Structure 1
Amino acid sequence: MSKAKPALRVALLGCGVVGAQVVRLLREQADDLAARVGAPLELAGVAVRRLGRKRDIDVDPALLTTDAEALVTRDDVDIVVEVIGGIEPARSLILAAMAHGKSVVSANKALLAEDGATIHRAARENGADLYFEASVAGAIPLLRPLRESLAGDRVRRVLGIVNGTTNYILDKMDSTGASFNDALEEAQALGYAEADPTADVEGFDAAAKAAILAGIAFHSRVTAADVHREGITEITAADVASAKGMGYVIKLLAICARSDDGRSVGVRVHPAMIPRSHPLAGVREAYNAVFVEAESAGRLMFYGAGAGGAPTASAVLGDIVAVARNRIAGTRGPEESTYADLKVHPMGDSVTRYHVSLDVADKPGVLARVADIFARHDVSIQTVRQEGRGDDAQLVLVTHRASDAALSGTIKDLRDLNIVRAVASVMRVEGDDTP
């Protein structure tokens, strides 16, 4: 009869919404986790900011500590789980843990997107594992398929909805006709949006996730600063209604794509119109979905709960099991892969289609003059729709594919035309090439 292996000890940094669920799963699934790992998993301690605070789960007071650094450097700790978020003290604590031979599981998208190079280097130099499945899409298994299952393939594009708050807001605007502010208030009332929703509605959260996705998909180092970012605060009910009338829906998309020559990548986050026939169009409420296109595997879609305590904790536990198995076997998981070293090209080089709405004077020759501006910038018009309103008219144009720089020049010149009263909206159009 084989001798039982000693328990692996887990230190948890943070006991908020996600941390409390990690504690619950470690406790409730202890026997199953031990069977899957090959050894018991024990909670060695939980670092918190305030000891007396009421928590979502009862934790043995003897496990709680406010000295996080002492916890992560203890000799009896094998795995450190970081779910406190932010840059500091998370970065210093992770580095201290790795320097003491601990493997790390993190859900910290902001840190990995801003300074992932430092964390990955520390893992490599100290022979530590670094797993971070929960950092991008909650419960959705996404990073491991990109990092491992598709390691033998060449990814061309990653297109996805990676922020549940903005997806909920845009979905409510589409389904009920609500304004942005009304939909945001509803999201806050339901707990989908924070009291300060800036990170979500301005695209910072999605941009961090896009940087992580692009780095893994294209074997290159990408930071949040490399990502072109636009939020959804300027999206109006009229924009949503116009898209709906044309058979489109507006989503905040993270788009990571190789250039046509394969020498660079574009990484961007912005609202875009997609056809209602596209798989991402049916992603409702606070759910996430990511569409991956690879040369051999073809088109793959990953869908599920992208946030929330229990879903995110599920991904964290999956990483804990993987790290624990590696420690028992004396191996390590895959390191950061940046061999391709592709450059991130500027937003102006990104190519897509555009939906442009203009308020113009309703008189002969207007369309010809507007079309001439598009032609000067080599932006081809696919469709035009005009609606008259007394002395004014609304001109809606959808272009063929063009560079963002060409479209920006077009819009600048349109604003200088005396017949154009206002450029009411400019929206990128994505997904027409995906069934």
Structure 2
Amino acid sequence: MTVPMGVEEEFHIVDVETRMLVARAREVLDRLPDRGFTTEFLQSVVESNSGVHASLDALRTDLVRSRRALDDAAAPLGLAVVAAGTAPLGRMGAVDVTPQPRYQHMADEYRAVADEQLICGAQFHVDVPDRDTAVRAMCVVSPWLPTLLALSASSPFWLGADTGYASWRTMLWQRWPTSGPVGCFGSAAAYDAAVTGLIRSGVISDVGMVYYDIRPSAHQPTLELRVCDACPRVETVVLLAGLFRALVADACEVVRRSDGCRHHSRQPWLRAMTWRAARSGLDGRLIDPATGQARPAGAVVRSLLARLRPTLEEFGDWETVSGLAEEALGLGDVAQRLRRVAADGGMTSAVDFLVTRTRAHPVATGPRARIDRRGLSARCRQNQAARLAAHRSGALPRRATRATAADRQPFAAGCDPMTATVLRPAPRRRSNGR
């Protein structure tokens, strides 16, 4: 069975000296081919668009080449690209909106919500038979989207502070009026009527502002996943693409065999499930869609793998996806690894960590270019085995060390955020009577 897929990745632009987010996307884009790269809402973000691929091998090769091209374009400018939900270091008001009428209108209309969109995501497209199937399949797939979010979580830091979340990007993103979990619709006509009503009301200005966690594409015969943080490692993107393709294929089969829209019995839970995934990522518990109970994140991920195994085997993806999933669980989510790095070396080290992980290795040719069936490479397997052995021996902690009392304080006057360690936002002071 072959079902085409594609990926859009967003990247922060950072200055290699200060490690700060900078509004220089246009300069990077000017050094890239027109095809495959584009601007985004803010001038601190560049987006890459993969081709359409039938295999995870081909997708990975495409993603690696795009990242290499971005790195090659940014480096001579003293810049680097970061694939993560948020960049650890940034400053409000230092990044301009891309000068396009649509973006300017959004900035004027949504004010602080738009101003604070210093975030990056990864979007995944999977082909579907038709738009009706896409709309009905959304309802079947939605309960598992928080698990995919947890696998991608890479945004614990916001403007130099530790938010306490694995994906703070999710919390910022869900403030848009048409973002977050989507409801169930019985047909494309019903979905389109709802979107038309939102536009007519003035709440949103066009169909492109429908930012639900999953949506039918307005321009292609695909279902689009939008819940994920941008991912530093290409391997994580490949894992998510494989899981989402299998989820969509399963959902389309459910729709094909069903006479009506299949409403998930726990639909009201979806926002709570998404919050849980954003809060703790792979480090804590997730809500199991099958039971509604909180379970260790690893158990929920493995439950999803077991559910999808027949479809993954049909695609020829089982050993690759299951190997990458086990590798991801062994490494832990990026948020916790970032906290450990920042605790040791400050926020600049966290930025350096992300820059290094975002840079992809050169694309090999011949047999070495293929994704290994137990992961991506012999080196990946060796690294995973070494890390798991270290975990078992106690040499490598699974969780980040708890922040000290000093780490919990806000930046002091005159404090240089470049050298600060992990910080937590200061508690809000309450006025009398409030």
TM-score range, shorter chain: under 0.3
TM-score, normalised on structure 1? 0.27
- Structure 1 or 2, whichever has the larger Rg, is 1
Query: Where is the helix percentage greater, Structure 1 or Structure 2?
Result: 2
TM-score, normalised on structure 2? 0.27
Query: Where is the strand percentage greater, Structure 1 or Structure 2?
Result: 1
